[in-house]
Amino acid sequence: LQRVHPNVLAKILKQRTIYQNEDIVVINKPYGLPVHGGPGIKNCITDVLPILAKMLENMKAEPLHLCHRLDKETTGVMVLARSKEAAENIRLLFKTRQVEKIYWAIVLGDPDPAEGIVEIPIVEKEVQSHQSHYKMTLAPSYRLRPEDGKVVKLRKARRAEGAVTRYRRLAGASACSLLELQPITGVKHQIRVHLAYGVGCPILGDHKYSHWSKLAPQKLPELTLRRLKLEQSKARHLPLHLHAHRLCLHLGQPIDLVCKPPPFFQKTLRKLELDIAED
């Protein structure tokens, strides 16, 4: 999608429209497509919003507006507004946590307990390694004192943001699990950091947060590699398996939006034999 013409990209997004009314247009965001532009980014969603608006309505349509963002590698439900007012209303709903967001992720390992809430603040830090880079990481409020195992409160990291994620295991097999996640807050890379560093179950294909001090492909268990018919040397090509599955918001009336995971995600579920009840 980085190499297609903007008109072609707008057409693809039009085909991926799952819901629209007079206020909003909802798309199923494709993998690997950034929401915003930046250095080295040819195509992004923001750039084609005026074209998409015209394709959906008529030649005189106002450009669509972004209401929230998803990471480049995240797929699934994304809401666009037809007017500035609608966009501001929806942004306010996100800001005041009145939008229910449900994600699905395939992770390595088995969370213990199988469901729970991770409530650990997150901060961005520079990682000193052979090539210095930045990552989000945990900034816990408490730690155990090594000499007597007593719980001590830590001073809050200056730029740390409170972050809360609910998780629940839906299925487990092949040294992996399928989790349902509900981020209560919206900190950058929150789900990825809470799962990798808080629960100890990094998302499949999350090469950034599978190690702390190095930039290296994720190391996969033997059983997982066998089921995926993959060699460890090829693990770096695995995409991030994180999908915005469902979004519920109130705009006059409740709107409940659901997106099926992309084909690669569904294929991985089948290969790993992560069976979930069809609902």
**Active-site positions?**
71
Element (H, E) at 45: helix 45-56
Dist. CA 152–CA 154, nearest whole Å:
6
Which tokens go with 244?
């915005």
Beta bridge partners of 2: none
Beta bridge partners of 152: 143
Residue the block writes with tokens 């295991």: 169
Longest dimension (CA), the chain: 71
Beta bridge partners of 165: 118, 183
Dist. CA 253–CA 257, nearest whole Å:
13
Dist. CA 7–CA 134, nearest whole Å:
34
Q: Are 110 and 171 in contact (CB under 8 A)?
A: no
Cis check for the bond before 221: say yes or no (omega within 30 of 0). Answer: no
Residue the block writes with tokens 């100890």: 200
Dist. CA 171–CA 166, nearest whole Å:
16
Please, how many CA atoms are within 13 Å of residue 80, restricted to the half-sphere of its CB?
A: 27
Q: Are 192 and 242 in contact (CB under 8 A)?
A: yes
Distance in Å from the first CA to the final CA of the chain: 31
